[in-house]
A and B are shown apart, each in its own frame.
Chain A
């Protein structure tokens, strides 16, 4: 069964013709319901943006009102004094590094698992998939000790590696499944030309896996940007904290400056929404691929 989740349902059914205004009007009640839910989804964010431009007395006297004067300095307070700027850069770096690492490692393992038969293959597959069962919360104490021993506690690169490690099972699983669907002809041609495993991986498998890699990267970006508990436990100073951890510490920075807190929150939200806007089709593909069988 053909599923193309990023197409409007109407297109899938092939019933979109000329705009028939009477039929459109018939769907008005549906739109009303959907608009209501959409309203619930975005109105808190609008409230947050408005609040982030208020002064504290302004907020206290009327939490729903429009700001009497736009207090843009809240953003400076959050970005500079509450160190959200530092956390922002840290989150960005961790997101980029760990995404690259996990894609490289998961795709190379997935390639071998998708293409070759070797001893212990079943065991290694089960060994990797066991990671699906491990909740991050049980890793905290051992990793807290372990990272200090290895000297990567409170270290951006260390945290990036750990983010990559905890998502390797899922990414390997997904990429192997995808790579098994790639036809072998191109690979065979490359081998006849004398390509070895590296060349096949680098010049055949990776380019052909691009849609799956984009999906995996999208999920990993959203994960790294939002991850809280590992970052909280494995970082200890301003210089290496990430945005979600910084957010949870904001109130300590701002006593009775809730608009400043709101400004910090907006700083975490905007990049996530922008990234999601551009990457949404990969999110939808990824979820759909996980949810539906033919």
Chain B
């Protein structure tokens, strides 16, 4: 036993050993995550527009009061709301339907699941650029070229610049890309529904749709609520697609709360107020995450052992 030679001081389970085992992980997390987040909280009480932070005056809740009169915050929250709407009304229902079909499948499950999950694992920076190719107004804009060739000229839109349009074209891609993730969650829930329920209903003459509505949906409600909360969390923290597709523009129309805080911090360089906007997104994330914890199921880790 090498350990016996190396460390006679390490009696099993002594306080010093426990401390040394915890220190690197907890220390790194404190240094680069917890401490910076508290600093950011502190910055949001400063009137800080560049320059050394020590010279920025403390202004109390002024930044947070300013939040309420900033119409861009409202615009941004509207886009977070749109994302939530798309997640709840498009992403999750589609995912549940696809997962249900997959669970009834006799062959091909792994291949389909692999394919459906690809959009989830691809770098979002690349996906956002891809969606810009799709929505572009240039001659290579895929959607408009397609509409033109299909003689649906009336549907051609300035997807990345029109008010009332760009808000949707920057939120839809993330809802679409996330479907595969929820398919895997729902599939796990679906295989947990006892087979006897389906067999009994089949004997009673139920068709697949009836089985879906009267067996699958009621038995999936717990998993579904959990997925809804995850989707809420995703909608509140979203920023990648607006940031990389339109930079939140034009005129901040497609901004989300986080992308707006990034604009304030890195373009406008109002670090105090920008931190306050970031803090607001943090508070919303706290609410969403505590909901996840409230409803989240976090056992079943033994399944990893198979």
Interface residues of A (CB under 8 A from B): 1, 3-6, 8-10, 12-13, 15-16, 23-24, 27, 30-31, 33-34, 37-38, 41-42, 44-45, 47-48, 51, 59-61, 63-64, 101, 104-106, 108-109, 111-113, 115-116, 118, 124, 127-128, 130-135, 137-143, 145-146, 161-162, 164-166, 168-169, 172, 174, 177-178, 181, 191, 193-202, 211-212, 215, 222, 225-226, 228-229, 233, 243-245, 247-248, 250, 258, 261-262, 265, 268-269, 272-273, 275-277, 280, 283-285, 287-294
Contacts and interface: CB of A to CB of B under 8 A. Distances in A.
B118 A138 contact: no
A30 B25 contact: no
B158 interface: no
Contact of A288 (B139, B195, B286, B303): B303
B124 A138 contact: no
Given A41-B116, A138-B40, A138-B275, 8 more contacts: A113-B22, A131-B33, A138-B36, A138-B41, A139-B37, A195-B4, A215-B304, A293-B299
Contacts of A101: 28
B144 to A, nearest CB: 10
A286 to B, nearest CB: 8
Contacts of A27: 104-106
B11 interface: yes
Interface residues of B, number: 117
A111 B11 CA distance: 16
B154 interface: no
B120 to A, nearest CB: 9
Given A34-B102, A109-B22, A143-B36, A228 B306 contact: no
Contact of B285 (A118, A135, A143): A135
B98 A37 contact: yes
A33 B213 CA distance: 18
Given A5-B187, A137-B239, A292-B300, A161 B265 contact: no
Interface of B: 1-4, 6-7, 10-15, 17-18, 21-22, 24-26, 28-29, 31-37, 39-41, 43, 53, 94, 98, 101-110, 112-119, 121-126, 129-130, 133-134, 138-142, 145-146, 179-181, 184-185, 187-192, 195, 223, 226-227, 237, 239-240, 244, 258, 261-262, 265-266, 271, 274-275, 278-279, 281-282, 285-286, 289-290, 293, 296-306
B158 to A, nearest CB: 17
